Chains A and B, each alone.
Chain A
Amino acid sequence: MEKNKEIIFSVFFIGAVIFSLSLFLCFAPKEEYSISERRKLKELPQFSSEGLKKGELGKELEEYTLDHFPFREEFRGLKNLVSQGIFRKLDQGGLYHREGYLVKMEYPLNGEMLEYGSEKLLGIYEKYLKDSGSRCYLSLIPDKNYFLGEKYGMLTIDYELMFRQFSERLPFAKYLDITGLLGIEDYYKTDTHWRQEQLLDVAKYLGKEMGAEVEAPYDKIKAEKPFAGVYAGQWSLPVEGEDLYYLTNGILDNCRVYSVGEKNNTAEGIYDRKKLEDKDPYEMFLSGNKAILVIENPAVREKKELLVFRDSFASSLVPLLVPGYSKITLVDIRYVQSNILDYYIDFSGQDVLFLYSSLILNQSRSFK
C-alpha cells in the first residue's frame, strides 16, 4: 500500500516538474537578446504550409524553444557542472578555467586562414604602401592559451610557427616580437582581450622601434562596475567580475576622435564611458568595432602619423601610442573592403603597424 502511494507520488511529481516547465516555456515573458551569448534570440516562427511540408517549421520551433527555455542560463550552468563534475571534461566547448582565467582553446592551426590573412595584408601593401615611402611594422598578439595551454595539457597551436610563418609572408614589414613582454596577468580573466593598464611596456617598445616617443604619465581610472567579459557568459557558471581600468591624461582628453565612412562620422573620444554600462564594456576603448577611426592629437605639433591595421586588441593599446603621433588612423578590414581604402585614406608615407591577435589570424576569413 505504501509502495503504491510512493509510485503515485512519483508519477505526479515528475509530471508536475515537466508540466511546470512547459507552462513556463509557453507563458513566461520572452527575452529578445542573450547577453551571455551576445546574440539575438530566435523569434516565434510564422506558420506556413510550405514550412510545415518541408519540416522547417518544426526545426524553427525547436530552435525557438531552445532559445527561450525557462531558466536557460541555470540549465546551461547545470550542463557545465555535469560535464566537469561527472564526466571530467577538460573543456566546455573549447573553453577552460585555470588559475582563475577563462581561456579559449584555439586549435588547430589553420594554415589556409594564415595564408588568406597574409595575402590580404600583402595586397594592401602592394596596392597602397609599396610606393608610398611608408615604414611597415608587424606585431602579433598571442591569445591566453599561449600562456596556459601547454601548462595544463590543453591543445595549443604552435604559436612560434604561426608567428614565424606569418611574418615571413610579410617581408616588407619589420616584425616586432612582443611575446616576451606579455604574461597571462596582462589579460582579463573573463575576456579575450588584454588589460590596457598592463601594456605600458608594450607601447614603449613599439614606440621605440617605430621611432616615436610615446611615454607619458597617466591617471589610472577604475570603472565603477565590475567587468564580466565575453567568456563569462559562455562559461555559464558564476564567475567573479573583475576590475576594469583605463589610462588617461590631458593629451588623450584633448584628442579629436572620429570615425570615417559612417553616416555621422562620430566617435565618443578615446574612451566612451557610456559603453561601461553596455553589454560589452571593453568597447569603451575607442568605441569598439569601427571600420576606420581617426585620432588627431593637437599636442604633437610636427606631422607624425601612424596607420594601424588592427583588430579589437588595438583599441586598448593604441591610446598609449597617441602621445607620439599627431594623427593615428585605425583600419579594421573586417568591417571595410580593403580594396577601397584609398577612397577614405591618404597613403602618404605614414608609419604603418599591422597589429593582430592570433585568434583573428587563425580565423581571418572575415578579412575583406
Chain B
Amino acid sequence: MLFSSIPFLYCFFPIFFICYYLSPSFMKNGVIVLFSLVFYGWQEGRYVLLMVAVILLGYVYGVFLERVEKPKKKKMILIFAIISYLAILGYFKYTNFFMDNFSRLFSIKNPIGTILLPIGISFYIFQIMSYNIDVYRNTCKAQKNPLIVAAYISLFPQLIAGPIVRYKDIEEQLLQRSHSFLKTYEGMKKFFIGLGKKILLANQLGECCDIFRQRGEDSSLFFWLYAIAFLFHIYFDFSGYSDMAIGLAEMMGFRLMENFNYPYISRSITEFWRRWHISLGTWFRDYVYIPLGGNRVTFSRWLFNIGIVWFLTGFWHGASWNFILWGMYFALFLMIEKLGLKKYLEKNRFFSHCYVLFFVMVSFLIFDGLSLKEAGRNFLGLFGVGCETLVGAESIYYLKNFLIVILVSVVFATPIGKLIVKKLLQKVFGKRYFILAETAGMLLILLAATAYLVDGSFNPFLYFRF
C-alpha cells in the first residue's frame, strides 16, 4: 500500500490511528505488527510469510549471538546469519540479473524464469542484518520478545522504502515511548509535507519524464528538460516518502533519523552523499567501509575499499549494470575529490554547486536508463548528439507546461522554500495564529493531494523496486 493512495489516507490511516491511540501501552506494538502485516500484505500478499520468516530468523540469531560467549563461535553464527540474509536477498533480487547475464553469455535459455521481487526486501534485510551485527558487537542487547523484533522490522512507515532504521537507535522507543498531541502534530506536519512533495511535485515531474520517453521530437532541449525533471523527480519522490515515513512514525511516538538534508545544495559529491539517503550511506559506512579498514589503510587498499562500498551501493539499488555503473561513477568522483578536487571546490562556491548538480544529474541519467545504451543516448542528447534539432516545438511546449513545477521544485529543494513559507505564514497570520495557519496549510495539501489522486492514477513510487 502506498502512503499516497486513497486506501491508505482514508481507510488504513484513520483505522490504524484510532486503534493505536485507543489501545493500552502494552498492546501498541501488537497493533503495529498486525496493521503492518495488513499494510504489507495489501501489496505483496504472497511475500508476507517471507518477511515473517526473516523476522523469526533475525530474532533467533539475535538470541544466539547474545547467549554464545566464545568469540569464534559467535563470529561463526554472525557469518552464518549474514550468509542466510544475503542468500534470501540474492535469490529474490539478483537471480534474474545473474541468470540473464549467464544465459546471454552462453546463449542458452534462462532455466529458472523470472522471480518477482518482494517489495522492500532490500530495506528490511539490511535492518535485520544491522540488528544482528549490533548484537554481535554488543552495541545493543538481543531482544527476548519476538513481538518487539517483529514491530521493529515490520513497522509499516519504514517497511518498504526506508529510512533504514537501526534497532539500537529505536530500542528504547520500541519498549517504551511517549505520545503527545505535540508529537502527533509535528508528525502530521512532516507527513503532509512529504505527501505534498510526492503528489504535487514528484508525480508531476514524473509525468514530464514519461512524456519525454514517449516523445516525438529528438531535441537537445527535450533531453535537458528530462534530465532536470528527473533530477528533481527522484529527490521529491524519495524524500517525500521518507518525510511521510518519519512523520507517521513520529505520530506513533517514534523518532526516526532524517534521510535527506537538502542534498542539492551540496558543494561536493562527498557532501552530497552525506545529505542523500543518509540512512543507507551511514549503513554502508558502519557495516562495510569501516570494517574494511576505512581510510586508515594503505592508499591502494583505501581505493579498493571505496570501490567495494560503491559497487555494493549501486548493486543494492538494483540488479542491473546501470546501477553498478552508477555506484562506480560516484566512487570515481569520491576518489578524485579526496585526492585534491575537494580543496579546489571549497574555494569556488559557484563552480562547486554547478559541478555537483551537473554530475548528479548525469548520474541519474544512468540510474533511470533502462539500459546502458539508453543512458548513453540520454547523456549525449544533452549536447545535441543524435538530435534532429536543438530546440523544437514539442520541447518548448513542455518546458512552458512544466516550468512552474520545476521552479517550485528548485526552490523547495533548498532551505529557501521552507523559509519563504514560514516567513509568509508569519507575515500573513502573525505569530499568534501561526499554528492555525500551519493547520490550514496541512489541510490544503491534503485536499490538493486528494484531488490529484482522485483525478488520476499516476502514482508509482520509484523506490519500491529496491
Binding site for B on A (CB under 8 A): 3-4, 6-11, 13-15, 17-19, 21-22, 25-26, 52-55, 57-58, 61-63, 65-66, 69, 72, 75-80, 82, 86-91, 93, 107-109, 153-155, 236
- B299 at interface, CB cutoff 8 A: no
- B216 at interface, CB cutoff 8 A: yes
A72–B9 Cα distance when bound, in Å, is: 15
What's the dominant secondary structure at chain B's contact region?
helix
Which of A8, A10, A21, A58 sits near B42, CB closer than 8 Å?
Answer: A58
- Cβ–Cβ contact B404 & A87, under 8 A: yes
Q: Enumerate 7 A-B pairs (CB-CB under 8 Å) in ascending A order.
A: A9-B439, A10-B188, A65-B6, A66-B453, A75-B447, A75-B450, A78-B448
Selecting from B94-102, B160-168, B225-233, B392-400, the interface stretch reads B392-400
Which of A3, A52, A80 sits near B435, CB closer than 8 Å?
Answer: A3
Query: Which residues of the partner chain B approach A4 to less than 8 Å between Cβ atoms?
Result: 181-182
- B455 at interface, CB cutoff 8 A: yes
A242–B394 Cα distance when bound, in Å, is: 33
Q: Categorize the interface residue count of chain B.
A: 35 or more
Query: Which residues of the partner chain B approach A82 to less than 8 Å between Cβ atoms?
Result: 200, 448, 451-452
Binding site for A on B (CB under 8 A): 1, 5-7, 9-11, 13-14, 17, 41-46, 181-182, 184-185, 188, 200, 204, 216, 393-394, 397, 400-405, 408, 435-436, 438-439, 442-443, 446-448, 450-457
A341–B1 Cα distance when bound, in Å, is: 50
Which of B7, B393, B442 sits near A14, CB closer than 8 Å?
Answer: B442
- Cβ–Cβ contact B45 & A55, under 8 A: yes
Known pairs A66-B453, A76-B455; A10 contacts B439 (CB<8 A): yes
CB distance from A175 to the nearest CB of B (A): 26
A14–B11 Cα distance when bound, in Å, is: 15
A57–B393 Cα distance when bound, in Å, is: 43
Known pairs A4-B181, A62-B5, A90-B400; A22 contacts B447 (CB<8 A): no
What's the dominant secondary structure at chain A's contact region?
helix
Question: When A and B form their complex, which 9 residue pairs have the shortest distance between CB atoms, in order from nearest?
Answer: A79-B451, A108-B216, A10-B439, A78-B451, A79-B455, A58-B42, A6-B435, A75-B454, A75-B451
Which of A65, A78, A109 sits near B10, CB closer than 8 Å?
Answer: A65
A18–B446 Cα distance when bound, in Å, is: 9
A107–B211 Cα distance when bound, in Å, is: 12
- Cβ–Cβ contact A53 & B447, under 8 A: no
CB distance from B120 to the nearest CB of A (A): 13
A15–B20 Cα distance when bound, in Å, is: 14
B188 (CB) vs chain A CBs: closest residue: A14
- Cβ–Cβ contact B11 & A25, under 8 A: yes
- Cβ–Cβ contact A108 & B181, under 8 A: no
Query: Which residues of the partner chain B approach A11 to less than 8 Å between Cβ atoms?
Result: 181, 184-185, 188
- Cβ–Cβ contact A88 & B1, under 8 A: no
CB distance from A41 to the nearest CB of B (A): 12
Known pairs A6-B435, A75-B454, A88-B404; A154 contacts B443 (CB<8 A): no
- Cβ–Cβ contact B454 & A153, under 8 A: no
A355–B20 Cα distance when bound, in Å, is: 64
Known pairs A7-B181, A82-B448, A155-B397; A54 contacts B46 (CB<8 A): yes
- Cβ–Cβ contact B11 & A22, under 8 A: yes
Query: Which residues of the partner chain A approach B1 to less than 8 Å between Cβ atoms?
Result: 58
Query: Which residues of the partner chain B approach A7 to less than 8 Å between Cβ atoms?
Result: 181-182, 185, 435
